[in-house]
Amino acid sequence: MTFVSDDNKSSYDNAIAIIGISCIFPGAPSVVRFWDNIVKGVDSIRDAGPGEWDADFYKNKSSSTFGKIYCTRGGFITEFAEFDPLEFGIMPTSVHGADPDQFLVLRTAAEALTDAGYHHKTFDGERAEIIIGRTMATGMGAMNLIQHGQTVDQVLQIVQAVCPQMGADQLAEVGQRLRGELRPCNADTIPAVMPNVMSGRIANKLGFRGRNLILDAACASSLLALETAMMGLQCRQSDLAIAGGVHVNSSAGFYQMFCGLGALSQSGKIRPFDDNADGTVLGEGVGMVVLKRLDDAIRDGNRIYAAIRGIGSSSDGRSGGLLAPNVDGEVLAMRRAYEKAGVSPKTIGLLEAHGTGTKAGDWAEINAVKRVFCEPVGEEPEVTKPWCALGSVKSMIGHTQAASGMAGLIKATLALHHKILPPTLNVLKPNSQVDWSQSPCFINSKARPWVTDRHQEPVQPRRAAVSSFGFGGINAHVILEEHIPCAAEQVRQTEQFKPANADKVRPGSIKLALNFPALSARSLDGMQLPGAMDVQPQASAAPDVTETAESTAVLKTFQQTMALVHQNMLGVQENVMLAYLNDDDDPAK
């Protein structure tokens, strides 16, 4: 591997400053709380509750049957899913029934822009871009639309088949009652189930007239969005960019898919790089960063959290399996990042790993890191002991899919900004397949000051790296560097920027539903159906035994039918999501 020297001017010319941050992650409605939780080692993974889905209905620890869920724990953001539509000039009627991530992303992007200092100063909207990483998995709003447009009619066909004596009026009433259980679906809500509208709405509401687009690179989505935004800045197509990632979809269907692949943890814990690692745990989240060229950010007096020195990406190419980890592909992304950055991997003090808690994935990652970090370069002295702290925020919030790279980026950025090496949870016995004495990395299990040798000449800034490796063989690796401001910058930043409020009150906010309602026979309570079927029977004198038996049989058949419909409703979502996964491959990433 070759790279230019650390003081090479061209590599600094391409450096990008992170000047604003906002996020919503499990246990954290804000970036202040997110960092506080990280430093304190807070485990924000919990059991699925009523706000998510009925865990008791689906849970089966021992079942291998597709559709059953053996891991019901996750990192959820249900309690923080609030949005004030009037703040952005949006009609409240267009929110319910839409995909909730559309509005949480808008809120988070606006907060990131405010954090960057643009709540009281203007920017050139014609040279501002918004790039978001999001998987194309079907969201709550899209499922609601499918239920309205297809599923209810399919249910009515089944009802008509099991109750052929039902008249048209009664059938219409059943349909009306079933649709009454769903959220609204109309011309106001339909735009917010189209993924591309997500970035378009942000551009519309925040006045961005540069590119707005959505990228799907699975778990690497947000770092690929970051790379795309950086390219626009570096080629001077834009002067300001927001890059981010979002995953707000931990529905039962999503869990069924990953349980079907055998990827989730039986113990309900992510144990990255641990001997007892047994799989990953799903999570939700939104993360956004505001970017400018480093020179411009210094000139304009922006607060600079950290500088991005370089980013590399790759695909696995021909390999053993579409979903299996590939060491060569990961190595290639890392090498490209260090060559672009012009820095040595031996200067990295913190590595925020992909670290999903799957044995195969973590083993592949640590071997890729060893190949790159321990590779001899020029006249560099050989390092004989581990020097780089290794961690994964997934141990605290779960695997947030398309937002996972952004969660790691924000964690590493704040670690540089606060000069703290943050902890990783659940590593009791480091993976015994790894010779840690010969590894460049050590597991950092507790928060500690990030101490460096400031007597060294020239002074070496602290550096961190972040990895994201996605389903389908897409890899990304980014290199961050602390920004050491001059005295004039420190004065300006002290005067201009105030600490953000971790518990901001939003008086006009409404709660967003993050899951879709399930159809059930409850919607027919009290309705008179053929054969004297009454879900809430009234007392009557001497009922006809034959008629009552027939009614009971019809009711039982109908309830069983509705239970099957309830289960198969999720199958619609599963089939859509499974369309981009090959379930014959190893789910190790």
Find the catalytic residue in 354, 417, 477, 483. Answer: 354
Residue from 406, 392, 218 nearest 315 by CA: 218
Q: Which class in CATH covers the domain with range 9-141+187-511?
A: alpha beta
Cα angle: 373, vertex 374, 378; to 5 degrees: 100
Rounded-to-integer distance, Cα 540 and Cα 561, Å: 27
Question: Which tokens sit at 149?
Answer: 């447009």
**399 catalytic per annotation:** yes
CA distances from 246 to 451, 454, 501 (A): 33, 38, 22
Local structure of 43: helix, strand or coil = coil
**119 catalytic per annotation:** no
Peptide bond preceding 461 in cis form (omega within 30 of 0): no
Backbone angles phi, psi at 293, to 5 degrees: -60, 140
Greatest Cα pair distance in the chain: 100
pLDDT for 203: 96
Find the catalytic residue in 399, 417, 477, 483. Answer: 399
Residue from 306, 280, 317, 289 nearest 133 by CA: 289
- Quick one: DSSP state of residue 215? E
Rounded-to-integer distance, Cα 561 and Cα 551, Å: 15
Find the catalytic residue in 71, 185, 219, 388. Answer: 219
- Quick one: DSSP state of residue 50? T
Rounded-to-integer distance, Cα 33 and Cα 51, Å: 22
**417 catalytic per annotation:** no
pTM, 2 dp: 0.85
- Spatial contact of 258 and 142, defined as CB atoms under 8 Å apart: no
Residue from 437, 429, 430 nearest 386 by CA: 437
CATH 3.40.47.10 residue ranges of the chain are: 9-141+187-511
Question: Which tokens sit at 466?
Answer: 């972040």
CA distances from 488 to 153, 180, 491 (A): 67, 62, 5
The structure tokens 């420190």 sit at 490
Determine which helix (DSSP H) or strand (DSSP E) holds 573, and give its type and residue range.
helix 545-578
pLDDT for 166: 85
- Supply the DSSP string of 397-466, one letter for each residue: H-B-GGGHHHHHHHHHHHHHHHTEE----S-SSB-TTS-GGGSSEEE--S-EE----TTSSSPPPPEEEE
Which distant-in-sequence residues (6+ apart) come within 8 Å of 199 by Cβ? 130, 131, 132, 212, 213, 214
What string of pLDDT tens digits covers the 589 residues of the chain?
655 445 455 566 799 999 999 999 999 999 999 999 999 999 999 999 988 888 888 888 776 677 789 999 999 999 999 999 999 999 888 888 888 899 999 999 999 999 999 987 889 999 999 999 999 887 777 887 888 888 888 988 888 888 888 888 888 888 888 888 888 888 888 877 888 899 999 999 999 999 999 999 999 999 999 999 999 999 999 999 999 999 998 788 888 888 988 899 999 999 999 999 999 999 999 999 999 999 999 999 999 999 999 999 999 998 777 778 899 999 999 999 999 999 999 999 999 999 999 989 999 999 999 999 998 766 666 666 899 999 999 999 999 999 999 999 999 999 999 999 999 999 999 999 899 998 999 999 999 999 987 656 667 899 999 999 998 899 999 999 999 887 666 655 544 555 454 455 566 787 887 776 666 666 666 666 664 344 444 444 444 544 444 444 444 554 555 555 545 544 444 443 343 333 344 434 4
